[in-house]
Amino acid sequence: MPHPVTFHDLTDVEGIPPALLRRTESDLSVFIERVKPIIDKVRTEGDAALRHFAQAFDNVSVPDMAIRATEEEFDDAFRAVDPEVVRSIEYGIANIRRFHEAQKPEDSWMVEVRPGLWAGDRCLPIESVACYVPRGKGAFPSVVNMTAIPGKVAGVPRLVIITPPAPDGRVDPGTLVAARLIGVDEVYKCGGAQGVAAVAYGTETVPACAKIVGPGSPYVVAAKRLLSDILDPGTPAGPSEAIILTDDSVDPEIAVLDLLIESEHGPDSSAWLVTSSRRVAEAAIEALPRHWAQMDDRRADFSRAVLGGAHGGVILTRDFDAAVAFTNAYAPEHLELLTSDPMADLGRIRNAGEVLLGTASPVTLCNYVLGPNAVLPTNRSARTHSPLSVHDYMKRMSFARVAPEAYPEAAAHAERFARYEGFTAHARAVSSARPMPTLVRR
């Protein structure tokens, strides 16, 4: 009988098998074709299309569902959520806010690049941003915290949340509690591709936004891609993924517990234990079925599907150098570094959305309460992209001013550039006499 855990022994393999670097969302073509008619219907029918898809995809039984969450729903949410859970949401909000406040850039800066030549940047919040909060495999007030708090810190004038409704036509209570505690009052009941289309085009109720942030299913990712010419899709954030990277020093039970964190997200997740220790690899494979038996049945099924499939399991490498090389090539969303000296090994990691150092820093803590953002680049995009941050809710606008005494020299150089590149008007603009303003210094 085959073992239920996928195992790759790479100790005698040269290089990295390309198939091991693939994610479940690598081919979006089928999803792109499926979301095209959804997007078109929202564009042409607005709110009516959102209600139609809420019934079709979210099993909503309320034909005249209010698309925007009402004040009554916010009030009911605080009555429905356990006060201890509210306290935990508040604890996470405080830590996440403090981290992102430290990230916020100066409003403006200026440098004198040469005597009389001044240049700088202004940092301004984007005017409107939609935060996507998924619902399909659970309820995620933590995603509200991660997407809305940096927007509030950045000073975004209009910050809205879109999220799929429950069958009763209401929003998850924890999501509403988190939104209210953060200060977001606009919560709209539209998820999936239809939600993305709603904030791209706007409907009678849902405002068109300049940008969307937050993780989502392949349908959400496909819709973001299709609509990227009118809606900034933000950091690529698809199905969740992680690598647990270990040497021989780790307790295999800890490695298994942390591997299960990622694999229980859903069957479209990716989760690997990558180790240079045969002892750790074999012990982990043996321990996993025992842990599955102690999990919620639904989450255990998700985990078995991931760790027994093509996108998860255990990888044994020739040595720790090879384990690091695989990890950098994979560029995971989450990386746990469970080694004898994780701070020293951190310097060897180049590609990861986040790196959690040591056994006291499991993904669970960072997902909820540590402070760094848990909306991270997926599908190898950590090679060039960064975690969601305050910077994603802001834009830079450069400015420059030239003092009259510095103008002649700068103009002479600019004229030479213009004539070399064949731009006659450019050259004439700086070769002709022009009145010099009085430079006011403040």
pLDDT in tens, 339-355: 999 999 999 999 999 99
CA-atom Rg of the chain in angstroms:
26
Q: How far is CA 387 from CA 236, 338, 382, in A?
A: 10, 21, 8
Q: What is the pLDDT of residues 104-116, one digit of tens each?
A: 999 999 999 999 9
Alpha helices in 295-374 (DSSP H): 297-307, 320-330, 342-346, 363-368
Q: Which residues contact 13 (CB under 8 A, 6 or more apart)?
A: none
Question: Sign (positive/negative) of CA torsion 202, 205, 211, 214?
Answer: negative
Mean pLDDT of all residues in 280-297:
96
Specify the residue for token string 């986040």.
Answer: 354
The pLDDT value given to residue 224? 96
Distance in Å from the first CA to the final CA of the chain = 79
Q: Is the per-residue pLDDT at 2 higher than 80?
A: no
Q: Which of the residues 25, 73, 264, 333 is marked catalytic?
A: 333
Q: DSSP secondary-structure letter at 179?
A: H
Q: How far is CA 50 from CA 55, 71, 187, 223, in A?
A: 9, 21, 14, 15
Q: Are 43 and 287 in contact (CB under 8 A)?
A: no
Q: What is the pLDDT of residues 140-180, one digit of tens each?
A: 999 999 999 999 999 999 999 999 999 999 999 999 999 99
Q: What is the pLDDT of residues 84-104, one digit of tens each?
A: 999 999 999 999 999 999 999
Q: What is the pLDDT of residues 195-251, one digit of tens each?
A: 999 999 999 999 999 999 998 888 999 999 999 999 999 988 778 899 999 999 999
User: Which residue, among 377, 242, 247, 240, has the nearest Cα to 323 in the 3D structure?
Assistant: 247
The pLDDT value given to residue 1? 37
The pLDDT value given to residue 36? 98
Q: How far is CA 30 from CA 36, 103, 222, in A?
A: 10, 38, 9
Report the length, in residues, of the chain. 442
pLDDT mean across residues, the chain:
95
What's the CA gap between 140 and 160, in Å, rounded?
16
SS (H, E, C) 275-297: ECCHHHHHHHHHHHHHHHCCCCH
Does the annotation mark 311 as catalytic? Answer: no
Specify the higher pLDDT residue, 440 or 94: 94
Q: Is the per-residue pLDDT at 300 higher than 60?
A: yes
What's the CA gap between 329 and 331, in Å, rounded?
6
The pLDDT value given to residue 136? 72
Does pTM surpass 0.85? Answer: yes
What's the CA gap between 149 and 349, in Å, rounded?
28
Does the annotation mark 127 as catalytic? Answer: no
Percent of the chain with pLDDT over 90: 87
Backbone angles phi, psi at 428, to 5 degrees: -65, -35
What's the CA gap between 161 and 135, in Å, rounded?
12
Among 185-194, 233-242, 281-290, whose mean pLDDT is lowest?
233-242
Backbone angles phi, psi at 267, to 5 degrees: -65, -10
pLDDT band, residue 432 (cuts 50/70/90): confident
Percent of the chain with pLDDT over 70: 97
The pLDDT value given to residue 266? 86
Q: What is the pLDDT of residues 19-71, one digit of tens each?
A: 999 987 667 888 999 999 999 999 999 999 999 999 999 999 998 999 999 99
Q: Are 291 and 260 in contact (CB under 8 A)?
A: yes
Specify the residue for token string 């708090």.
Answer: 149
Q: Which of the residues 334, 409, 421, 426 is marked catalytic?
A: 334
